[in-house]
């Protein structure tokens, strides 16, 4: 039997689906008495089932034709197709940090992929719990450097690049969602915006009236819409990463498309900064979180610095490779190569700070907030944390071109802590 048209699955329908799908059946085995199915989706978008059978397990993710969190907000099911494309491509480039795809059904908008077994948890929850992940910077810099470098014109020929750019242009609806909720709504009156009111009322208003901020965001939005620099994850916040102390796995690339690299790097670093400023709200008499805050800052520094080193390393390794942006006959002399690399990484750093800051702002005065802050129950304490994060974000967004190193960013964060 084939599923010839889309229908949303429930636990029971999912079991029927598995029974007729060899690629899934072969994983869980034939003993359906033992099969367990559990819906665990906690995101804004999809249904997610964990399926465990007698011989193995997987996750089933199904996209529905609307946002799960706002059911009146329609959203293309085709995002599952682009998520699969991105999982496969990023998985090929960095298999250590991307879950394997076992099955994809375009009609059903359904992906079967590796189940990231316990103790894997969402990184954001780990950050709220105050858990240090000693390999996080190492792993995420690995993921970002490989996925971004190998899908850019530093490695691609322009021929393959344009073909892939064209394909991912199809994921336009998800791009529009980002444009709206990250780069537009926070800067205007919108029914979807919310913030810790009344404490942040004047802060939200100040953002809507800050001409410099709005000028800078316009530039970032143009870059987001126009610049096909690499295949980016598109939503690389700490809720899109699952971790244990030894493992780091990047999930949920349904927003993937060819866009500016700084959007990914910035999303990750921006969300770490949010996590930093949320710590005061999670401090208590047993744990003042001071040591943990230092670990977060160290992770921010290490993430950028390792990313920088690894990205340049890949560039050096492949400088005679297929990439057409910097042809070896023109750019392989040492002095010039260092000059173009410095310029490239400096621009990427400023893009990172700009997009990272925009992602921070939207999480405080836009539609979708983060559990880091939301789980702080005292609203005045939450507002204090959020306001400090907001001030850092505004400074990073407006003055990003003045920053040369990540240490300077850390200094600004330190200046704004309590």
Contact residues: a second copy, CB under 8 A: 153, 158-159, 161-163, 165-167, 169-170, 172-173, 175-176, 179, 184, 187-189, 211, 214-215, 218-219, 221-222, 225-229, 324-327, 329-331, 335-336, 339-340, 343
Residue among 62 and 178 whose Cβ is closer to a second copy: 178
Q: How far apart (Å, rounded) are the C-alpha atoms in residues 221 and 86?
A: 22
The CB-of-205 to a second copy minimum distance in angstroms stands at 14
Other Cβ atoms less than 10 A from the Cβ of 373: the count is 22
The CB-of-12 to a second copy minimum distance in angstroms stands at 37
Q: How far apart (Å, rounded) are the C-alpha atoms in residues 34 and 105?
A: 25
Residue among 111 and 230 whose Cβ is closer to a second copy: 230
Residue among 315 and 373 whose Cβ is closer to a second copy: 315
Q: How far apart (Å, rounded) are the C-alpha atoms in residues 91 and 95?
A: 5
Residue among 59 and 367 whose Cβ is closer to a second copy: 367
The CB-of-354 to a second copy minimum distance in angstroms stands at 14
CB 410 within 8 A of CB 269: no
The CB-of-169 to a second copy minimum distance in angstroms stands at 4
Q: Which residues contact 157 (CB under 8 A, 6 or more apart)?
A: 322, 323, 324
Q: Is the peptide bond before 198 cis (omega within 30 degrees of 0)?
A: yes
Q: How far apart (Å, rounded) are the C-alpha atoms in residues 91 and 98?
A: 5
DSSP 8-class letter at 231? E
Residue among 211 and 377 whose Cβ is closer to a second copy: 211
The CB-of-71 to a second copy minimum distance in angstroms stands at 22
The CB-of-179 to a second copy minimum distance in angstroms stands at 6
Residue among 62 and 229 whose Cβ is closer to a second copy: 229
CA nearest to 234, candidates 187, 136, 168: 168
The CB-of-186 to a second copy minimum distance in angstroms stands at 10
Tell me how far CA of residue 42 lies from CA of 68, 258, 320, in angstroms: 9, 27, 45
Q: How far apart (Å, rounded) are the C-alpha atoms in residues 140 and 147?
A: 10
The CB-of-394 to a second copy minimum distance in angstroms stands at 16
Q: How far apart (Å, rounded) are the C-alpha atoms in residues 303 and 140?
A: 7
**DSSP characters for 304-318?**
HHHHHHHHHHHHHHT
Helices 201-208, 334-365: axis angle to 10 degrees equals 130
Phi/psi zone of residue 265: left (φ > 0), alpha (ψ -120 to 50 degrees), beta? alpha
The CB-of-190 to a second copy minimum distance in angstroms stands at 8
CB 135 within 8 A of CB 300: no
Residue among 116 and 393 whose Cβ is closer to a second copy: 393
Residue among 211 and 380 whose Cβ is closer to a second copy: 211
H or E stretch including 359?
Answer: helix 334-365
CA nearest to 133, candidates 258, 243, 287: 243
The CB-of-161 to a second copy minimum distance in angstroms stands at 7
Q: Which two tokens stand for residue 151?
A: 């899908």
Residue among 138 and 347 whose Cβ is closer to a second copy: 347
CB 18 within 8 A of CB 51: yes
Residue among 72 and 211 whose Cβ is closer to a second copy: 211
CA angle (134, 138, 141) in 5-degree steps: 140
The CB-of-273 to a second copy minimum distance in angstroms stands at 24
Residue among 62 and 151 whose Cβ is closer to a second copy: 151
Other Cβ atoms less than 10 A from the Cβ of 241: the count is 26
Q: Which two tokens stand for residue 259?
A: 């866009």
């Amino acid at each position: 039997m084939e599923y010839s048209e889309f229908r949303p699955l429930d636990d029971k329908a999912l079991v029927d689906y598995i029974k007729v799908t060899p690629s899934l059946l072969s994983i869980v085995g034939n003993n359906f008495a033992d099969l367990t199915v559990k819906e665990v989706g906690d995101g804004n978008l999809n249904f997610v089932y964990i399926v465990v059978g007698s011989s193995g397990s997987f996750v089933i993710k199904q996209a529905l034709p609307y946002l799960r969190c706002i059911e009146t907000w329609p959203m293309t099911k085709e995002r599952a197709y682009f998520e699969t494309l991105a999982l496969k491509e990023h998985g090929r480039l960095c298999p250590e940090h991307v879950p394997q795809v076992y099955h994809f059904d375009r009609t059903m908008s359904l992906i079967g992929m590796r189940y990231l077994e316990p103790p894997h948890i969402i990184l954001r929850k780990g950050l709220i719990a105050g858990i240090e992940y000693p390999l996080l910077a190492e792993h995420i810099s690995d993921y970002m450097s490989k996925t971004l470098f190998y899908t850019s014109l530093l490695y691609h020929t322009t021929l393959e690049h344009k073909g892939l750019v064209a394909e991912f242009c199809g994921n336009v609806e998800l791009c529009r969602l980002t444009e709206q909720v990250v780069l537009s709504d926070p800067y205007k009156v919108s029914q979807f915006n919310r913030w810790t009111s009344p404490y942040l009322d004047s802060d939200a208003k100040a953002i809507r009236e800050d001409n410099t901020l709005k000028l800078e965001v316009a530039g970032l939005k143009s870059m987001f819409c126009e610049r096909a620099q690499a295949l980016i994850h598109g939503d690389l916040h700490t809720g899109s990463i699952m971790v244990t102390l030894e493992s780091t796995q990047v999930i949920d690339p349904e927003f993937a498309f060819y866009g500016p690299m700084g959007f990914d790097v910035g999303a990750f670093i921006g969300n770490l900064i949010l996590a930093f400023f949320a710590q005061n709200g999670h401090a208590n008499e047993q744990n003042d979180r001071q040591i943990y805050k230092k670990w977060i800052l160290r992770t921010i520094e290490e993430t950028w610095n390792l990313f920088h080193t690894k990205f340049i390393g890949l560039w050096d390794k492949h400088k005679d490779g297929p990439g057409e942006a910097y042809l070896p006959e023109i750019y392989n002399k040492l002095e010039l190569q260092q000059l173009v690399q410095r310029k490239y990484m400096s621009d990427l750093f400023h893009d990172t700070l700009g997009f990272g800051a925009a992602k921070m702002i939207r999480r405080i005065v836009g539609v979708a907030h983060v559990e880091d802050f939301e789980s702080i129950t005292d609203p005045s304490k939450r507002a204090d944390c959020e306001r400090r994060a907001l001030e850092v974000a505004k400074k990073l967004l407006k003055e990003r071109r003045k920053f040369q190193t990540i240490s300077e960013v850390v200094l600004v964060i330190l200046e704004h802590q309590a």
